[in-house]
Structures are given as C-alpha cells and as structure tokens.
Amino acid sequence: MRQTDTVRAYLLDLQARITAACTEVDGQAFRADPWSKAPGESLQGNGITMILEDGAVFERAGCGFSHVTGPRLPPSATQHRPELAGAPFEALGVSLVFHPRNPYAPTVHMNVRMLSATAASGVPAFWFGGGMDLTPYYGFEEDAVHFHASCKAALAPFGDDKYPRFKTWCDEYFFLKHRNEPRGIGGIFFDDFSELGEEQGFAMLRSVGDAFLGAYLPILARRKDTPYSERERDFQLHRRGRYVEFNLVWDRGTHFGLQSGGRTESILMSMPPQANWSYRREEAPGSPEAELASQYLVRREWV
C-alpha cells in the first residue's frame, strides 16, 4: 500500500470521528458536500467538505478532507524549499475551523496534512504539517492550560523538544503582523516536517489529530451554555474580524489553496458567518474584554 493510501484512510476516519462527536454535542448533523476536480483543471483530485451551520452550539463548523495532485507547487509551499519550485505535487489533509455561537466558547482550528513532490533532479520529497490553536473571545486560565497540556501530551512520545518548538512556531505563525497581536492563545504548529522519517512523522501526525477532541470538547462543554448579552456578542463579532484578517492576509494554507486552483468554497469555509469591524475600538480598562488583550493575547508558557 502506498503511504498516501494509508494517510488518506486515516484522514477520512479522523474527519468522520470528529464530525460524529460534534454532531452529538450540537444535535444537528453535518452536511456532506463531496467534490472532485476533473482532468484538465489546474488541480485533480477529490474531497469531502463537512459543514454545520446555524446549529444550537455551532454557528458554523467546517471540517474538510481533500486529496489533490497538481502540476506545480505554488510559491506559498516552496518559500523554504526553493529546489521544489514548480515541481508536481500531491497533497492530502484534514482542516477544520469551528465557530461556536456562545461568545464564551472559543473558536478552534486544527489541520493535519501530508505533501509530496518530486524535484527537477528526480529526487522525491515529502513532509508533514499541521497543528491546532485556540482563539478565545473571553479568557479562562483553565481552558488555556487544558488545551496546551493536551498538545504537549500528544507530542511527548516524539521528543521533549517538540512541544516547545511547535508552540513557539505557533505563537510566531498565528500572529497578525499588521496589528502586532496574536490571533489567540496559540497551541502547536509545524510545517515542512520530515526529520522523523515517514513512519514516525505519520505517527506524530496521527497523535496530533487524535488529540483534538480531547483538547477542545471539554472546553466547549464548560462554556457553550454560559449566559451572555449583546455586549458579549458584539465583542465576539469584533474579534472574529481579526480572525478573518489573519486568514486572508497571512495564512499560508489559504494562499496555497487559492494559488493552486483549489476549491474556493472549501478553502473559505473557515470564515465565520458574521464578523464586525470598528474604527480604533478601545475596551474599558479592567473589563473582561480588555483582559483578553492584556492577559491572553500575549505569549505565555501555559504548561
């Protein structure tokens, strides 16, 4: 069996497990939207976008699987691998973003993927990427500690260096440079990763993917029924605007999908259904909204 066949089977099962668990939480089922890219298009391949909108718990939850091949890696994928510029490639992965309805419940993102390509010299290359990160609108210490502890435990079997490296990478990557602020409280992030070899690299990928539900669902259970008013909803929509800014301006995954001719609906399913922007908004000193910026949207060692 080719390695990509093994990875594909795992990713499809991961997508099914995550969406089944979240259906149980919300009470509404995800809608499956299978798609394919026909021969002659810039990409060939297929995928399944699972989407839940206007649910009791999730205002929007998208979890997509894709498996595509293309004639040329886009610039977003080769900025650290110039020898692969323009090389044919194969990419497969699962990516999700969940936007809960309740402002006290955080948005979460998770992605696991594998890419392979062949350089002009004929030498094949592969690498893994992914991670997960949490974007709260109202900060809770126990939530941040639980999420980071789950990430650390997932990486522990693969070396004590992995969590601190990938946490730092996440802090640096999910950062809105134009606003000089983090997107959230971070988590873990890795890309262009092949140093463990295929077998162990794939094992690490599975460990991260399998850790997601345990990292996020206990937090969601604590926060999804918290009473809130228009004040909290307004702040949630304001902060969602920053999420949109990051995804469109800085996110390599979004750029990779759009530059390679990917399916636009699936690429942009990470966007929240509603978001607001306001001019030079300032929060009241000492308020929970101000506390988010001063205590949570900063680099911290949570575990």
What CATH number did the domain enclosing 197 receive? 3.40.1500.10
Q: What is the pLDDT of residue 254?
A: 87
- Domain extent for 157: 3-269+285-296
Residues with a catalytic annotation lie at 109
Q: Establish if 70 belongs to a structural domain.
A: yes
Residue 4 is encoded by which pair of tokens? 């990509």
- Residues (pLDDT < 70) of the chain are 1-2, 38-42, 74-80
Q: Give the model's pLDDT for residue 65.
A: 96
Q: At 87, give phi and psi (nearest 5°).
A: -80, 150
Is residue 94 one of the residues assigned to a domain?
A: yes
Q: Quick check: is 164 in a domain?
A: yes
User: Is 136 inside any structural domain?
Assistant: yes
Residue 275 lies in a domain: no
Q: Given this model, what pLDDT does residue 40 score? A: 59
Q: What is the pLDDT of residue 22?
A: 98
Q: What is the pLDDT of residue 97?
A: 97
Contact 191, 201 (CB under 8 A): no
Q: How far is CA 207 from CA 9, 48, 103, 110, 132, in A?
A: 15, 22, 29, 13, 12
On whether residue 274 sits in a domain, the answer given is no
Q: What is the pLDDT of residue 71?
A: 81
Contact in structure between 113 and 92 (CB atoms under 8 Å): yes
**Degrees (nearest 5) of the Cα angle 100, 208, 292?**
40
- Give the pLDDT of residue 7: 95
Q: How high is the pLDDT of residue 78?
A: 64
Residue 278 included in any domain: no
Number of domains in the chain: 1
pTM over 0.85: yes
Is-contact 91 165, C-beta < 8 A?
no
